[in-house]
Amino acid sequence: MEIQLAVAKVVKYGSLESGDTLEIVERPMGGVSCVLGDARSSGTSAKSVSSMVVRKVISLLSDGVRDGAAARAASDFLFMEKGGTCSVYLNILSADLQTQTLVISRNNPTPVFISQSDQIECISSESNPVGQERNIRPSITEISLFPRTTVVLYTDGVMRAGERFGQSIEFCSLIQAYLDEQEPSAQYIADALLSHALRLDQNQPNDDMSVVVLRVIEKAEDNIRRLTVKLPFSSQTTIYD
Amino acid sequence: MEIQLAVAKVVKYGSLESGDTLEIVERPMGGVSCVLGDARSSGTSAKSVSSMVVRKVISLLSDGVRDGAAARAASDFLFMEKGGTCSVYLNILSADLQTQTLVISRNNPTPVFISQSDQIECISSESNPVGQERNIRPSITEISLFPRTTVVLYTDGVMRAGERFGQSIEFCSLIQAYLDEQEPSAQYIADALLSHALRLDQNQPNDDMSVVVLRVIEKAEDNIRRLTVKLPFSSQTTIYD
């Protein structure tokens, strides 16, 4: 089997820096985790807050701390640092090879979609951002690491795409349409979903947008682990998106 | 412009776990760093040592510490923890958007190849692994972030591929051949080099093998950041490679 994890990420139109921070880390007992932090607003100060939270979570996960405990710790840490004046939406998506499960940890009201055996489930339970108050808990969903499982999550910039123009995305049917294609890769789904959101915002994204897709594929191509990063940048300035 | 960073990684034949650890992290002032640790031997204990070193470096880089200082700190940390009984080969490869440079930090005698303007340079100066003694320094090379630059580095498992069968790899001409193809992606070069090494070891790698390729591309496809992970695994056990 093979785990495919893909990310596509774009900065708000006119903003110098994305307020979304995303990092991946290998789990010490096997597997991979993806941590996504979305600070309220865009730009350098938002980036600094989301990146502080994501770094704390990554560091705890790589020490073997469980996802739920890492989210709580990051919340307390942000609350202690900023006294409740800053909050960050946080998602942790882990493929844990030790427990053979996928663990989805949400401190983010934006829904997460899970497709297993031709059925798409939408997790959209109440969920609070980290750092706003004491005793914040993540909402955690754990499912078996079965082949043909797909998890899709995104930041609120994607959810609200097109809102200015009176349009919205029907995520469930859109994701179903992508999955109906011939063995779509995780990267294909992430790219397609982000492109769709960008089109609705007329290619001038109204907020930072990030899409994360994880797929469990029945048959691995080979026994090789792969990792690819593509980072567009401008040579004139330190602007990056 | 676009930075492409690609990794291909395989475990030693018959080993449960790779002694090579590789992580990437976003640089807080813009850009990306890739950290590769190669512990002597393979298996769980080697993994635990290489991962300890890589985690330390990643954590320092994400706090904004410079690459050279992070390598020194990781060396002292490993020396303090293990009293000089363990050593780890360490490479840090960074695309720093703030200084608009590529920084190659080596604590690894395995050579690093840099191609700029149709000329391939091989960096193979003396270099000591981290953790073996006090005051270990990295050997650092810094070059401008020009388009059409390619950096290739790998672990000694790749360098020694085919040694058992009296064969060896002519890296310089092999990399030149890949670069002569039509706009090869970083992932294509990493995959091709690893496949070549695997063939020389008759598909039973004699050591853990990892290849890292970074390319600076003149024209970015679009303004979207992308990240892809492919992780083959077996569902019966926690073996992964």
Residues A54 and A146: their CA atoms lie apart, in Å, by 28
> Which residue in B37, B31, B34 sits closest to B23, CA to CA?
B34
What ipTM is given for this predicted complex?
0.92
Its sign, for the CA torsion B52, B226, B28, B130, is: positive
Residues A161 and A173: their CA atoms lie apart, in Å, by 16
Of B8, B95, B224, the CB nearest to A226: B8
Q: Which residue has the higher pLDDT, B7 or A220?
A: B7
Residues B49 and A181: their CA atoms lie apart, in Å, by 43
Q: What is the mean pLDDT of chain B?
A: 93
A236: confidence class by pLDDT, cuts 50, 70, 90: low
CA B170 to chain centre: 19
Is B104 an interface residue toward A (CB < 8 Å)? no
- Residues on chain B touching A225 (C-beta within 8 angstroms): 7-10, 229-232, 241
The answer to whether the beta carbons of residues B157 and B206 sit under 8 Å apart is yes
Please report which helix (H) or strand (E) contains residue A73, including its range.
helix A67-82
Mean pLDDT value across residues A134-157:
95
Chain A, chain B: beta-carbon pairs less than 8 Å apart: 197
Query: Is residue B134 classed exposed, middle or buried when 0-12, 13-18 and 19+ CB atoms within 10 A define those classes?
Result: exposed
B235: confidence class by pLDDT, cuts 50, 70, 90: confident
Q: Inspect the interface and report whether the beta carbons of B226 and A191 lie closer than 8 Å.
A: yes
Starting at the earlier edge strand, list the strands of the sheet with B112-116.
A119-123, A112-116, A149-154, A209-217, A2-10, B225-232, A225-232, B2-10, B209-217, B149-154, B112-116, B119-123
Q: Could you tell me which residues come within 8 angstroms of residue B187 by beta carbon, excluding any fewer than 6 positions away?
A: A226, A228, B4, B6, B8, B213
Judged against a pLDDT cut of 50, whether residue A215 lies above it is answered with yes
Distance from CA of A232 to the nearest CA of B (A): 4
Residues B115 and B58: their CA atoms lie apart, in Å, by 26
Provide the H-helix boundaries in B33-170: 44-62, 67-82, 156-159
Closest residue on chain B to A25 (Cα): B23
Classify strands B112-116 and B149-154 as parallel, antiparallel or unpaired: antiparallel
- Residues on chain B touching A25 (C-beta within 8 angstroms): 23
Q: How far separated are the first and last CA of chain A, in Å rounded?
A: 33
Mean pLDDT value across residues A123-151:
95
Of B30, B51, B238, the CB nearest to A97: B238
